[in-house]
């Protein structure tokens, strides 16, 4: 559900070093220590504490490069199941003080901040600090809070005071001064391609962006850029989405836990990702009409292809057949693969699709899928899985592979 903003005040809450903070919430002895959170295979750093960042360690850095830079650092494997618990607790706390909350990402929330002062019986700046302190006290995670007249300004305000800060940005002159030297890349929604277009026109700061004629911005970045222009002028045109809009695409995949050219292992990964994809399609209650497969090689190149399915489906046998067909066409024996991604598009809700009378799934396939869902729901996510995934025994034995960021439903971003 979209909330029309009008003169509503928009708040933005951004958890500080969220994955590290979650680990510290359950392991207090990590407070003050340099801490890094590792990817599922423990090969690279996906999150870092400020102490670790100060030692020159960056996100994505391989563990064998990070360790020498900070020998005393504590590295832990990711645990998205735990991170989701604290993420939803943060959202619940904000819902107690706001009538409208957007679950933007695992560590970010937009909310209607109009009621903050009334809830905490304090001026707005103090009320924002009290919200920050309440979440820190009750959830155990430090957050930064920004409040302004649009979501774009609120997010910029929060980002400017990290870590554990608060900023209320309402005064037009203060806002103009704040935006003056802020790099244009800080605007949410401005990626490197958009930044390159803006830089070519000498638009390098948020202040430059806001001062540029609206029609020029629209010509450079289309309506999306124009919406950001209005937002930077305190006109809220991007609504709060309190319920996630229907997906336009559902995909699954990621790292293969290390480069591999083992054909049996690659085929096992294909089956695993199709099973996860079907699980997601079931969760959303949709069927797909198109399917694509992409493989990233160790060289950095991508190979892959897509296909239009004979009819809209979410059936495991049919999607696996499409995946295997594409894999057999694009993969060359001996290629070393590091990542695999499966995507489905042209999605429709199942109740709105007319199924074929001539090419229906067999009763056995339907019953097998039903029993598989039932058992896995009761016993464990991967209690029943295809025998073709047996070469991945190390993956299924590692609990960090049981829950991923994409398995956290309801958030708008990723």
Could you report the per-residue pLDDT of 94-115, keeping only the tens digit for each? 999 999 999 999 999 999 999 9
What are the phi and psi torsion angles at 250 (to 5°)?
A: -125, 130
Q: Are 62 and 43 in contact (CB under 8 A)?
A: yes
Q: What is the pLDDT of residue 367?
A: 86
User: Within 13 A of 359's CA, how many CA atoms are on the CB side?
Assistant: 9
Percent above pLDDT 70 for the chain: 96
d(CA 10, CA 154) in angstroms, rounded, equals 6
Give the rounded distance of the alpha carbon of 118 from its chain centre.
32
Q: What is the pLDDT of residue 362?
A: 76
Q: Which of 65-69, 174-178, 349-353 has the lowest mean pLDDT?
A: 349-353
pLDDT over 60 at 141, yes or no: yes
Mean pLDDT, all residues of the chain: 93
> What is the CATH superfamily name and number for domain 249-407?
DNA polymerase, Y-family, little finger domain (3.30.1490.100)
Q: Which 3 state secondary structure label does DSSP give 396?
A: helix
Per residue in 201-228, pLDDT tens? 999 999 999 999 999 999 999 999 999 9
pLDDT over 50 at 258, yes or no: yes
pLDDT-derived band at 2 (thresholds 50, 70, 90) equals low
DSSP E strands in 175-285: the ranges are 240-241, 249-260
The answer to whether the bond into 265 is cis (omega within 30° of 0) is no
| CATH 3.30.1490.100 residue ranges for the chain | 249-407
pLDDT over 80 at 360, yes or no: no
Please choose, from the candidates 69, 41, 77, 64, the residue with its C-alpha nearest in 3D space to the C-alpha of residue 53: 69
d(CA 37, CA 83) in angstroms, rounded, equals 12
Domain 18-79 fold? MutS, DNA mismatch repair protein, domain I (3.40.1170)
Q: Tokens representing 27?
A: 């392991």
Q: What is the pLDDT of residue 4?
A: 47
Q: Which 3 state secondary structure label does DSSP give 381?
A: coil
Distances in Å between the Cα of 22 and the Cα atoms of 95, 107, 139, 277, 300 are 20, 10, 9, 28, 33
Q: Tell the burial category of 354 from Cβ atoms under 10 Å away from its Cβ (0-12, 13-18, 19+).
A: exposed
Q: Which of 37-41, 56-60, 192-196, 350-354 has the lowest mean pLDDT?
A: 350-354
Per residue in 277-327, pLDDT tens? 999 999 999 999 999 999 999 999 999 999 999 999 999 999 999 999 999
> What is the CATH superfamily name and number for domain 2-16+83-241?
Reverse transcriptase/Diguanylate cyclase domain (3.30.70.270)
The most confident of the ranges 36-40, 41-45, 126-130, 240-244 is 126-130
* pTM metric for this prediction: 0.90
| CATH 3.30.70.270 residue ranges for the chain | 2-16+83-241
pLDDT-derived band at 356 (thresholds 50, 70, 90) equals low
Q: Tell the burial category of 60 from Cβ atoms under 10 Å away from its Cβ (0-12, 13-18, 19+).
A: exposed
Between 372 and 92, the higher pLDDT residue: 92
d(CA 64, CA 66) in angstroms, rounded, equals 6
Q: Which residues are catalytic?
A: 108
User: Within 13 A of 240's CA, how many CA atoms are on the CB side?
Assistant: 27
| CATH 3.40.1170.60 residue ranges for the chain | 18-79
Overall average pLDDT of the 166-172 stretch:
95
Per residue in 23-50, pLDDT tens? 999 999 999 999 999 987 788 999 999 9
DSSP E strands in 244-373: the ranges are 249-260, 286-297, 302-313, 337-349
Q: Tokens representing 173?
A: 């002159």
Q: What is the pLDDT of residue 355?
A: 64
Q: Tell the burial category of 352 from Cβ atoms under 10 Å away from its Cβ (0-12, 13-18, 19+).
A: exposed
């Amino acid at each position: 559900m979209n909330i029309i903003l009008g003169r509503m005040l928009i708040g933005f809450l951004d958890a500080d070093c969220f994955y590290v903070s979650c680990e510290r919430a359950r392991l207090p002895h990590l407070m003050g220590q340099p801490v890094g959170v590792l990817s599922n295979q423990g090969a690279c750093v996906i999150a870092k504490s400020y102490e670790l960042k100060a030692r020159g360690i960056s996100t994505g850095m391989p563990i064998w490069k990070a360790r020498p830079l900070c020998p005393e650092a504590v590295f832990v494997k990711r645990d998205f199941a735990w991170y989701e618990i604290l993420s939803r607790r943060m959202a619940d706390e904000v819902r107690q003080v706001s009538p409208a909350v957007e679950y933007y990402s695992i560590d970010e929330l937009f909310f209607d901040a109009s009621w903050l002062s009334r809830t905490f019986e304090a001026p707005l700046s103090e009320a924002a600090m009290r919200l920050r302190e309440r979440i820190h006290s009750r959830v155990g995670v430090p957050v930064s809070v920004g409040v302004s007249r649009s979501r774009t300004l609120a997010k910029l305000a929060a980002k400017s005071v990290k870590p554990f800060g608060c900023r209320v940005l309402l005064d037009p002159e203060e806002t103009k001064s704040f935006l003056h030297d802020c790099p244009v890349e800080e605007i949410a929604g401005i990626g490197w391609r958009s930044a390159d277009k803006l830089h070519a026109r000498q638009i390098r700061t948020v202040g430059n962006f806001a001062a540029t004629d609206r029609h020029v911005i629209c010509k450079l970045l289309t309506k999306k850029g124009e919406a950001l222009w209005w937002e930077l002028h305190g006109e809220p045109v991007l609504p709060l989405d309190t319920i996630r809009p229907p997906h336009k695409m559902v995909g699954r995949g990621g790292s293969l836990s290390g480069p591999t050219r083992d054909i049996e292992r690659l085929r096992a990964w294909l089956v695993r990702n199709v099973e996860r994809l079907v699980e997601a399609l079931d969760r959303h209650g949709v069927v797909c009409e198109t399917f694509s497969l992409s493989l990233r090689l160790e060289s950095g190149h991508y190979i892959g292809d897509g296909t239009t399915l004979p009819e809209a489906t979410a059936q495991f046998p049919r999607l696996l057949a499409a995946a295997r067909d594409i894999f057999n066409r694009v993969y060359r024996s001996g290629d070393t693969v590091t990542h695999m991604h499966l995507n489905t598009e042209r999605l429709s809700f199942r109740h709105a699709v007319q199924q074929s009378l001539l090419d229906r799934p067999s009763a056995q396939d339907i019953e097998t899928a039903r029993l598989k869902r039932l058992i896995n729901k009761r016993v464990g996510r991967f209690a029943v899985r295809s025998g073709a995934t047996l070469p991945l025994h190390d993956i299924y034995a590692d609990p960090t592979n049981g829950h991923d960021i994409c398995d956290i439903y309801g958030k708008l971003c990723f």
